[in-house]
Structure 1
Amino acid sequence: MLRPAITLLLVALFSVAARAGDTPASPRRISLDDAIAIALRDNRTLKAAGFGSEAARDQIGVARGAMIPRLDAGENVSYTNNPVQVFSDLLLQQDFSQKDFTLDQLNHPGFLSNFQSQVRLSFPLFEGGRLIAAYRAAGFAADAERWQVVQTRQSVEFAVIQSYYSAVLAEQRVAVVDRALGAARAHLAQAQDLFAHGMVVNSDVLRTNVLAGTFEQQRIEADSQLGIAWASLAHALGDEDERLAPLEKPAELDAAISPPSQLAGLVVCAAAGRPEINIADSRMKQAQQAVTIARADYLPTVEVAGVYENDTERFARAGNNEALLVTGRLNLFNGLATQSKVDAAQADLSRARVLADDLRHSVALEVETAYRRLVAAQQGLGVARRDNAYAESALKILEDRYGSGLATNVTVLDAQTAREQADMGLVGAQVSVAIDRAALNLAIGVEPEPASGR
């Protein structure tokens, strides 16, 4: 008898251990400021933008390198009996002799090897303004990428704020449903007791059971939405390895509401601070330099180069020569390709100007939209707080009256539903204000306010 008992005990212990292993660890609670700091460190989109900016800065060095002297080394090796090549290589090796003038030697030379080493120093004297324009264009491109990083950072910060408060909302929804479910079950117990004493009919018990079942379904859905919200927050942070969750009820949600600044001033602030506008301005300046580069094909190019050459057959004796070369080139006709390049560059410039102008109007619209949404959200929060107080008082009164037989079960159930809706409305309004405030900051191009300072 002892052995089966021990076996059952071990099985029970292993089952408990297995269930404990399947239970997910509690998440680590972080503040909004901590969440933003994690995202600025780990978010992959922001990291990619940083690499893009670094690559654009390196392109400035490429453009700069085209304007300074260039030093090249080259090596050519030949082994031939081509009469002309052999004759030329003997001269270059400075090893030509009388016997090499015989007709048979000139017409039928033997194989000759030649190791030709060259060092060439070249410098572009004039490129029609192409090189300096390319250098400036690279600088404007780097500016655009630098502002792109700023834009990406602000977008990531907003995404974190949105995900953070969405997770808060999801968790608060679970708490609201739990509270409503607890109240429904308490009312069910009350209805069952009254029914047992013959004070109410059975339909009161059945209707209350239905309401409790509805809350149970909502609890299942709320729990699923909470898991999704936590996963979305982890992705926005760029840290899926650790279970992170927002504070259960951030203090900033209950902070005093400060009205936004005047709309006109916010539009002016956005015109100066939005990174997209700075990106558009940099792209427009880059397009202006592209026009200069295209027009440079109409002008001549001049290059000066110095060459040192060493030619040898067996590395024992070598011929040396030096040269100073000045090379000029001017295209006289290329099938109007240059004109087409200029027209295309000017069209790109016109397009950049139109897009920059349209962007300024779009930014003004975004600021106004975000402003009005925040104002509406703040007003809605005041209404939600008032309705929440009304719903709480009404439910308490009706529950007391139902116990005294002065209120129907239906009115109590309706009050419980209204209380749940009011609770969710209040949490949703608080979260809407927080997100809409962040959206307004994003629209005007400023960093989000620290949560601790709200």
Structure 2
Amino acid sequence: MIRRHTTTAVLTSLLFVWTILPASGQTPMVLTLKKARSLALEHSPLLHASEHALTIAKEDIESANAGRLPTLDLHESYMNTNNPTSVFGTLLNQGRFTENDFDVDRLVSPGSLDNYRFDLSLNQSIYQGNRTTLGIKRARLGADVSRARVEETKQHVLYRVTEAYYDILLAKAQVKTAQEAETIARTNLRHIQSRFDAGVTVKSDVLEAAVRLSSVREALIVAQRSVKVARAVLQHTIGLREAVDVEGDLNLIHALSRTRADDGMSPLESRPDYQALQGQLDQAEVGTKLAKSSFLPSVDIQSIYERNTAGPFSNGESNYSVFAVFRLNLFSGLSDRANVRRSLAQVKRQQQLLEVKRREIAVEVAEARFVVEAAEERNVVTEGTVEQAEENLRIVRNRYRSGIAPVIDLLTAEMVLNKAKLQRLNARYDLHVGLARQSLVQGQMGLTSVE
């Protein structure tokens, strides 16, 4: 019986895992960069979270606007009392007070009395020291900040998708390079083995070539694993449950707007994180005005309509009251002054944070530009390096077959070619990702076309 229950639990667990995980043998969704970016905008949990934060900020505006509208409350209560004062007043409110109720004994020791009270209360703020208007303004600024944060999140998601996309292309290219290196290493080993069988070389040459082939195979295994990891990163960066793959290669350099000279805008004008900090500074300045408004008076109009009866369905009497309420803060334990000082300090803090961000952006823009420039130069250099390494391997291989060059020269030439190919791949990858990074730091990641 225990074994049967255990088997059932295991099968249930496996079924649950099977239903929530994508099948390992499923055909992956092949994506272009444009499609991957589009899907990320639809499915990214990070982006959805920031959009919900914007929704919250918009509701804060509605809450702040409520300060301009009246409040209307309904109350119903039941009371049973023999308190002389309460009984006297309740009888008056119910309209049941008679001459007999002036009897001293009844006044001093009344019997218990039931009262059902229904009332509507209306309160309208007339003047609140401009606090309502300032609260609305601060809430709107908060929505602007959240809107900028959404744009910031969007651009970072697009950048991470772009980076993950090129990570897959790089990993695939590294696999191809490792396969080419394996083919070369196997060919060299075959030639060296033939020379050893012919008695024109030594056993150590064969062993060195075999070790080299093993090293290349290990690099191939690592590269193949990197492809799987990169695919998983792209899948979860986009927010998909389906396995993904990409199409394309690192040879195509896409046209990206790499400077802000085209539209005349500076990064400070387009960077959403800078705009968010500017919005927070504006909020802090409004907060200072709000803190100072606590010293201003407030005026409210209040009205109450009530009905009192001896029973829930009995006849009774109704009455109303209208009040004009004036309030002025004369002393509140110095907390209001502390709030003003706190608000002023918050303004200064936001000003410094804005200055820090301005300097960070300047460094990021300069760094991104230098990375792209270096990658462009490296691409030119590495193209020539690969050609030279291929020619060098051809010459050394012929020299080795002729018995002029030692085996170490052949293996070294092989490694030099493989290294040159990898350097060329890295240069191309760095240019692609560097261009995307440059677009990000200029606040253009959602504007440029990367396909």
TM-score by length of 1: 0.89
Q: In the alignment, is residue 298 of structure 1 matched against residue 295 of structure 2?
A: yes
SS of residue in 1 equivalent to 2:68: coil
Q: Distance in 2 between matches of 1:383 and 1:117?
A: 89
For 1:272, the equivalent position in structure 2 comes to 269
For 1:255, the equivalent position in structure 2 comes to 253
For 1:382, the equivalent position in structure 2 comes to 380
For 1:33, the equivalent position in structure 2 comes to 34
The verdict on how the C-alpha distance between 1:259 and 1:398 changes in structure 2, with shifts beyond 3 A counting, is farther
Q: Deviations over 1:328-368 (max 9, x none)?
A: 11121122111111111111111112221222222111111
**How big is the shift at 1:321?**
0.6
SS of residue in 2 equivalent to 1:66: helix
CA contact (8 A) 2:254 2:450 kept: no
Q: Distance in 2 between matches of 1:165 and 1:88?
A: 83
- Deviates further, 48-57 or 335-344: 335-344
> How many pairs align?
427
For 1:151, the equivalent position in structure 2 comes to 152
Amino acid at match of 2:418: E
Amino acid at match of 1:384: T
Amino acid at match of 2:310: E
- Deviates further, 366-375 or 23-32: 23-32
**How big is the shift at 1:183?**
1.2
For 2:353, the equivalent position in structure 1 comes to 355
Q: Percent identity of the aligned residues?
A: 28
Q: Deviations over 1:19-61 (max 9, x none)?
A: xxx9744533211111111111111111100000000010000
Q: In the alignment, is residue 221 of structure 1 matched against residue 218 of structure 2?
A: no
The verdict on how the C-alpha distance between 1:170 and 1:55 changes in structure 2, with shifts beyond 3 A counting, is same
SS of residue in 2 equivalent to 1:95: coil
SS of residue in 2 equivalent to 1:290: helix
Q: Deviations over 1:32-91 (max 9, x none)?
A: 111111111111111100000000010000000011122221222211111111111111
Q: Deviations over 1:279-320 (max 9, x none)?
A: 111111111111111111111111002221111111220211
Amino acid at match of 1:309: E
For 1:364, the equivalent position in structure 2 comes to 362
The verdict on how the C-alpha distance between 1:257 and 1:311 changes in structure 2, with shifts beyond 3 A counting, is closer
Pick one of 332, 335, 338 that aligns with 2:336: 338
For 1:6, the equivalent position in structure 2 comes to none
Amino acid at match of 1:451: V
For 1:424, the equivalent position in structure 2 comes to 422
For 1:47, the equivalent position in structure 2 comes to 48
CA contact (8 A) 1:53 1:145 kept: yes
CA contact (8 A) 1:308 1:320 kept: yes
Q: Distance in 2 between matches of 1:88 and 1:258?
A: 82
**How big is the shift at 1:269?**
2.1
The verdict on how the C-alpha distance between 1:85 and 1:48 changes in structure 2, with shifts beyond 3 A counting, is same
CA contact (8 A) 1:40 1:153 kept: yes
The verdict on how the C-alpha distance between 1:50 and 1:253 changes in structure 2, with shifts beyond 3 A counting, is farther
Amino acid at match of 2:299: V
Superposition map of 1:169-318 within 5 A = 169-239=170-240, 241-247=241-247, 249-250=248-249, 253-255=251-253, 260-261=258-259, 268-314=265-311, 315-318=313-316
The verdict on how the C-alpha distance between 1:266 and 1:211 changes in structure 2, with shifts beyond 3 A counting, is farther
Amino acid at match of 1:243: A
User: CA RMSD, aligned part only?
Assistant: 2.0
SS of residue in 1 equivalent to 2:213: helix
SS of residue in 2 equivalent to 1:254: coil
**How big is the shift at 1:256?**
6.9
For 1:94, the equivalent position in structure 2 comes to 95
CA contact (8 A) 1:116 1:311 kept: yes
Superposition map of 1:126-137 within 5 A = 126-137=127-138
Amino acid at match of 1:393: E
Q: Distance in 1 between matches of 2:31 and 2:286?
A: 48
**How big is the shift at 1:278?**
1.1
Q: Distance in 2 between matches of 1:131 and 1:62?
A: 10
Amino acid at match of 2:417: R
CA contact (8 A) 1:305 1:325 kept: yes
**How big is the shift at 1:401?**
3.4
The verdict on how the C-alpha distance between 1:382 and 1:33 changes in structure 2, with shifts beyond 3 A counting, is same
Q: Distance in 2 between matches of 1:96 and 1:260?
A: 89
Amino acid at match of 1:298: F
SS of residue in 2 equivalent to 1:38: helix
**How big is the shift at 1:400?**
3.4
